[in-house]
Amino acid sequence: IAAQQISELLQQPERQAGSEKTIFFGPITRVDKANATGRNCWKLDELK
């Protein structure tokens, strides 16, 4: 969900860079073998 919110924020060209301070936060979730998915676990090469 946070990625979607950030994407929507960045797609608003009428906002001037630095015109407002935005902070995103959420619960901290420990990622391990039991709960790792493609949504919360990725390889750096996949992002390039």
Residue-wise pLDDT for 1-48, tens only, equals: 577 878 887 888 787 878 888 777 777 788 888 988 877 777 778 777
Amino acid at 46: E
Amino acid at 34: A
Instruction: List, for residues 11-22, the tens digit of each pLDDT value.
Output: 887 878 788 887
Write down the residue that tokens 């619960």 correspond to. Answer: 27
CA-closest candidate to residue 3, choices 30, 40, 35, 33: 40
pTM: 0.34
